[in-house]
Amino acid sequence: MSNLNPVRLIATKRDGKALALDDLRAFIDAYTGGAVPDYQMSAFLMAAYLNGLSDAEAAALTDAMLQSGTHIDLSSVSGIKVGKHSTGGVGDKVSPILVPLVASCGVPVAKLSGRGLGHTGGTLDKLESIPGFRTSLSVDEYRRQIDDIGCVIAGQTGDVAPADKKLYALRDVTATVDSIPLIAASIMSKKLAEGNDALVLDVKCGRGAFMKTEADARALAETMAAIGAEHDVPVTAVMTNMDVPLGRAVGNWPEIVEVIECLRGEHDDTPLMRIVRALAGEMVALGEKAESAEEGEERVQQVLDSGAALDRFFQFVEAQGGDRGLIDTPSARDGSEPVAVVRAPDDAQGYVADLDALAIGHAAVDLGAGRRAKEDDVDPVAGLSDLKKPGDPVAPGDVLARLHTRTPSAVEDVRAAIRDAYSFSDEPPEPVAPVRARYDTSGWSDV
């Protein structure tokens, strides 16, 4: 560990002073290698949590975590590769729509995704609900697929940012997860390892998101963009609303069914597809297949209308071993039919006024769509479908949601929780913009 003195480094951060960046890198390397114990790293994390990190410190921390593992090299793949990351939400099925959609506009997209975290679902769990779908790919398979069909979504192997894995586990048990620079460094260390040339971030904001306030969402977006800039990776961030679930399905297979419907053009005029088009437009522009995000959105609409995006989704599912027949006929999936419905109570007259995304996220986990403990298996068919959403007309006895699960004992509690997640009013609520703002090197702008 050369001349590094961990106690002095911890004291520097404790006193709110600037760290020497080489010392910070050496400290992370030493921790990953086992030369710095958990108790010293815990003290450092709490000092960083309380006093923050400068952009330069956050970038150095990211770099050290990135360099601790594999940095996938996609330079042999032609074109500007553009990645995407969402900070996570309820019903967030954007990636399986967006990745083949953007690829069908001529922009390659390689993505390492995660599993469900708390009340938020995980893209890997959703994709693995397609029988046969493999998310565990070798780096060669990942590279080959992006070369062949322009898109791939895989799980993170243990080789990607192992320092982050070790640090995240420690943060989880030392109350230091909720720190904007630590979250930004953690996410960016994995995003930079994917091998893309540019990145679009979907920074979710609201009660169903990790960032509950707009101020925190802005700070996270700005910190991640600054880290990208330090690594010569241009980043555009789009802040999107996460007060209510995204779309009308939440869970694993139920969300895949909605993905297919979206790509078939059945939900074009919805908040979900407005978010997909906004992110896709930015990605197509960063990939230099359009002059601007607006022109990118036009290109995106063309490939949706022509069926090219749906075809690319079929190719993507087949390339990763998924059952193509079920994608054509989703209702044929074994055990996928609803086992119960939730009906509107007697006082439900008029309109749905509000629907709490956090409560719906917990309900989906209780049905088996997510994990309570790290080692839990998820139920591939579990979740909710046909959710009524704010602004929908409602009358007593109407279906508010359909429940899918292989754990029927969960149904009664979930049914009560879902009813509580709704409120009703005589007048329709004010519509909320799904896309709130965008950020790039020229600053924030409205959309």
Degrees (nearest 5) of the Cα angle 185, 187, 189?
65
- Of the two residues 210 and 422, which places its CB atom closer to ligand URA in the complex? 210
Q: Of the residues 186, 189, 336, 385, which is catalytic?
A: 186
Q: Are 177 and 112 in contact (CB under 8 A)?
A: no
- Of the two residues 177 and 339, which places its CB atom closer to ligand URA in the complex? 177
Q: What is the largest CA-CA distance in the chain?
A: 71
- Residue 38: burial class (beta carbons within 10 Å; 0-12, 13-18, 19+): middle
- Residue 318: burial class (beta carbons within 10 Å; 0-12, 13-18, 19+): middle
* Shortest Cβ 9–ligand URA spacing (Å): 21
The two structure tokens encoding residue 111:
């993505």
Rounded-to-integer distance, Cα 33 and Cα 258, Å:
44
Residue 138 known to be catalytic: no
- Of the two residues 203 and 384, which places its CB atom closer to ligand URA in the complex? 203
Q: Are 379 and 342 in contact (CB under 8 A)?
A: no
The two structure tokens encoding residue 5:
């003195």
Quick one: which of 339, 342, 315, 343 has its CA closest to 327? 315
- Of the two residues 183 and 235, which places its CB atom closer to ligand URA in the complex? 183
Residue 186 known to be catalytic: yes
Q: Of the residues 13, 25, 84, 85, which is catalytic?
A: 85
Rounded-to-integer distance, Cα 330 and Cα 333, Å:
6
Residue 164 known to be catalytic: yes
Q: Of the residues 29, 92, 125, 164, which is catalytic?
A: 164
- Of the two residues 129 and 189, which places its CB atom closer to ligand URA in the complex? 189
Extended strands (E) in 118-266? 151-155, 198-205, 235-241, 250-251
* Shortest Cβ 42–ligand URA spacing (Å): 15
* Shortest Cβ 156–ligand URA spacing (Å): 9
**In the complex, residue closest to ligand URA by CB:** 186
Residue 85 known to be catalytic: yes
* Shortest Cβ 189–ligand URA spacing (Å): 9
- Of the two residues 118 and 338, which places its CB atom closer to ligand URA in the complex? 118
Q: Are 342 and 399 in contact (CB under 8 A)?
A: yes
CA 297 to chain centre: 21
* Shortest Cβ 222–ligand URA spacing (Å): 16
HSE value, Cβ hemisphere, 13 Å, CA-based, for 256: 31
Q: Say which residue the tokens 């050496």 belong to.
A: 26
Residue 231 known to be catalytic: no
* Shortest Cβ 261–ligand URA spacing (Å): 28
Give the pairing of strands 383-385 and 399-404: antiparallel
Q: Are 13 and 58 in contact (CB under 8 A)?
A: no
* Shortest Cβ 182–ligand URA spacing (Å): 6
Degrees (nearest 5) of the Cα angle 228, 232, 234?
60
Interface positions with ligand URA (CB under 6 A) = 168, 177, 182-183, 186-187
- Of the two residues 168 and 444, which places its CB atom closer to ligand URA in the complex? 168
Active site positions, annotated: 85, 164, 171, 186, 190
